[in-house]
Every structure is written in C-alpha cells, then in structure tokens.
Amino acid sequence: MDAQTGFIVLLCLMGFTCADPVKFIDCGSSAGEVVMVDINPCVSQPCQLHKGQSYSVNVTFKSAVESQTSTALVHGIIAGVPVPFPIPIEDGCKSGIQCPIQNGQQYHYQNSLPVKSEYPPIKLTVEWELKDDNKNDLFCIKFPVQIVS
C-alpha cells in the first residue's frame, strides 16, 4: 500500500466520510461554479433523511463574483411546489465562508439540514441556494432525498 492509499484508509478509520459525493443538478449557479456536494451521513442515493435527525451539508464552490454577504435559501420541491425548509444559519458568512467573497476563490460552505419529526415520509427534491449581494446564485443545487421514520 502506498502512502496516499494508507492516508485515505487512516481517514476512513478515524470516522471521516468516505462516501461518494452526492449527485446533484446545478439549477442556475450564475455567480459561481459548484465543485462538489457532500451530505453526511448519506450512505446511498437518494439520501435517506431520518426524522428527528440533522444532516451536514457541505458544498465546495468557486465564486465568479465579489460579494460582501451570502444568504442561503432551502426549499423542498414537492409535486413541483417549493416549500421552505428552515435551516439553523442562513448567513453563509457564518457557515464556513470567510467574507468578503473574492472572485476566483474556492469556498467550502457548511450547514446543517434538520429533519423535523413532524415531516411526513416522502420522496422530494431539495433545492439549496446561496445568494450573493445582488441576489444572484453563488450556487444553486438540487438533489433527491427521501424522508423516512
């Protein structure tokens, strides 16, 4: 085993996620480019989200603009209708991003997606946007999930 493979195995044994990145659809990232999306824990796709638990959402993106602020909006798309999903921190500058955001820089956005106990068991699409100062999408991603008991 070479050193790089050994390091990856070590990280896996230490409890870091070794899952494949989540498959997503870019839904209009006009002010940036999505590099990778990771949801933890998500062992299979669509991700099964258990009621009463919270999931870590990590998005790596490259900004194509400068922005002093960033604001996250999350919706569940159910039968074509966007339903707001509350998240703990809407301010992207408090979610792993050091603001001001610089053009051409890569950022690692991190937030959590709490799944309330009262949510019904359903398959849906999550739409997650991070808006810049001008309300343009630094990123806009859609990914399928299934809420389970």
Break the chain into its structural domains and give their ranges. Answer: 19-148
- pTM for this model (two decimals): 0.84
pLDDT of residue 21: 85
Distance CA 146, CA 34 (A): 23
Whether the ω angle into residue 41 lies within 30 degrees of 0, i.e. cis, is yes
**The two three-digit tokens of residue 99, written as one number:** 């603001």
Is the domain 19-148 a CATH 2.60.120.260 member?
Answer: no
For 109-144, b where at least 16 C-beta lie within 10 A, e where not — what string?
Answer: bbbebebeeebeeeebbbbbbbbbeeebbbbbbbbb
Task: Taking residues 120-128, report their average pLDDT.
Answer: 96
Q: Which of 129, 117, 116, 123 is nearest to 57 (CA)?
A: 129
pLDDT digits (tens, 9 = 90+) for 33-63: 999 999 999 989 999 999 999 999 999 999 9
